[in-house]
Amino acid sequence: MPQLTKLSPTKQGRMALFFDEEFAFSVDLETLAQFGLQKGMEFTEEEYEDLLEKTQYKKARDRAFKLLGYKSYTRWLLRQRLLQEEFPEEVVLDVLDRLEELGLIDDLDYAVRCSTDLLHLKKYSLSRVRQELRHRGVEEADIEEALSQVENDPLEQIRQVIEKKYRSALADEKGRRRAVNGLLRLGYGYGQIHQVMNEYDIDLMEEMD
């Protein structure tokens, strides 16, 4: 039976636990009091695993709270971040389920806010926004629902990009090509770009011939 042979305070305000003279893991002071942990206590294997699981869960949960205090995450992104910090996957999944119950992670809400920013601040096209949301682990149903809630006029978006970044560059062919390539990188189709360029009396098809 594992025996708690030593308790040692850590610099992080936790208590390091040593079982059978070897360091096992650390607990916070709340867990220390909850389990009444004292030197010399003996644990069955089941009791030891229960203590370890509760400790890992609370540590992963507290870490998730801290991460969410800095920025929003999708469920997938937060899962990846916690797994990178070597929390057990089953513990991470339990934490994520609880955070969803509390409304602290909500992929649809995240997708709406993120797509709004990408469309109106970065001027991404809808296809580029879809690509970005998929990259962040948002499911297709949430992506489509989010995009149905945001206003988008791709031609007006292209006009705004041109006026802000490329208006003076349209005077020569090299500048026009740079503008087109920039708009293509934002995800706009060549037909959409050509339509707006016509408004500036620029015929891209003629220049390509």
- pLDDT tens string, the chain, 209 residues long: the values are 889 999 999 988 899 999 999 999 899 888 889 889 999 999 999 999 999 999 999 999 999 999 999 999 999 999 999 999 999 999 999 999 999 999 999 999 999 999 999 999 999 999 999 999 999 999 999 999 999 999 889 999 999 999 999 888 888 888 888 999 999 999 999 999 989 988 887 766 655 54
103: left (phi over 0), alpha (psi -120 to 50) or beta: left
* CA angle 174–179–183, rounded 5-degree value: 150
| 8-state DSSP, 163 | I
> What is the dihedral sign for C-alpha 185, 189, 194, 196?
negative
Q: How big is the chain, counted in residues? A: 209
Q: CB 73: neighbour CB atoms within 10 A?
A: 23
Sheet holding 22-27, edge to edge: 4-9, 15-19, 22-27
| H/E segment holding residue 9 | strand 4-9
* Residue 120, Cβ density class (10 Å: 0-12 exposed, 13-18 middle, ≥19 buried): middle
Check residue 175 and give its pLDDT: 87
Check residue 201 and give its pLDDT: 78
Written as six digits, the tokens of 104 are 């602290």
- 33 touches 17 (CB < 8 A): no
Written as six digits, the tokens of 162 are 């041109």
Strand partners, 23: 18
Cα-to-chain-centroid distance, residue 18: 36
* Residue 76, Cβ density class (10 Å: 0-12 exposed, 13-18 middle, ≥19 buried): middle
- 146 touches 112 (CB < 8 A): yes
